[in-house]
């Protein structure tokens, strides 16, 4: 059995995996784990649950690999499995409210590509980035699920519109419309939130005078 090429296409790696190469599937795992985890964290707002869903996604894909239709995009198939897993996980935990810390919902600095020992970026930069990310996540939570998922797939997973349509089971036009409407709603929510924050800050300052 020949060794899989880490830079090979998804189709080549799937074929090698079907031929019995565990290394080929490991390459696929390494290729897609981080973007899958990013969307799962945003969707579930819980790092542990997101990790579980991603692991379940790959286990399910590995078990069902023989049923994969090579006429379609492998990564679209993978995202479909992930989104279904997120829906099941959310339904399972919807009656168990919990409060999670920053590191639990979005990962620590190392996971996000920041080396704490390097001294760069500065703590202030990191804090501002966290605040922006938290605002984005809160805003996405206020969107209809279909629009929020479309935005996550478009910008976190970097899927094309047709891939979003395939992964979510809708038409190409619907996928484009969900992204467009989602962006409009998101911009409105973020603007309103920032305006309220500025108003609150001014009120606090006036109270101190």
- What CATH number has the domain bearing residue 140? 1.10.10.10
Query: Do residues 75 and 141 share a domain?
Result: no
Write down the pLDDT at residue 103: 37
**50 in a structural domain:** yes
Distance, in Å, from the CA atom of 28 to the CA atom of 32, rounded to the nearest integer, reads 6
Query: Do residues 72 and 11 share a domain?
Result: yes
Average pLDDT over residues 26-36: 96
To which H or E segment does residue 36 belong? helix 22-44
Q: Tell me the residue range of the domain where 69 lies.
A: 1-93
pLDDT band at 203 (very low <50, low <70, confident <90, very high): low
Write down the pLDDT at residue 69: 87
Query: Do residues 69 and 129 share a domain?
Result: no
**165 in a structural domain:** yes
**169 in a structural domain:** yes
Distance, in Å, from the CA atom of 112 to the CA atom of 42, rounded to the nearest integer, reads 13
**112 in a structural domain:** no
Q: Say yes or no to pLDDT of 84 above 80.
A: yes
Longest pairwise C-alpha distance within the chain: 77
């Amino acid at each position: 059995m020949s060794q899989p090429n880490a830079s090979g296409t998804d189709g080549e790696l799937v074929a090698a995996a079907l031929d019995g190469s565990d290394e080929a599937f490991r390459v696929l795992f390494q290729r897609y784990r981080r973007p899958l985890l990013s969307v799962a964290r945003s969707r579930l707002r819980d790092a542990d649950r997101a990790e579980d869903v991603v692991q379940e996604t790959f286990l399910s894909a590995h078990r069902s690999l023989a049923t994969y239709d090579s006429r379609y995009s492998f990564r679209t198939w993978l995202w479909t499995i992930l989104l279904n897993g997120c829906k099941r996980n959310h339904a399972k935990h919807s009656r168990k409210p919990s409060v999670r810390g920053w590191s639990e919902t979005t990962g620590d600095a190392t996971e996000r590509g920041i080396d704490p020992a390097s001294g760069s970026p500065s703590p202030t930069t990191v804090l501002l980035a966290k605040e922006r990310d938290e605002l984005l996540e809160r805003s996405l939570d206020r969107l209809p699920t279909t629009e929020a998922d479309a935005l996550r797939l478009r910008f976190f997973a970097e899927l094309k519109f047709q891939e979003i349509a395939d992964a979510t089971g809708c038409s190409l036009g619907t996928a484009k419309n969900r992204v467009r409407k989602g962006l409009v709603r998101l911009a409105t929510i973020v603007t309103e939130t920032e305006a309220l924050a500025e108003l609150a800050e001014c009120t606090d300052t006036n109270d101190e005078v």
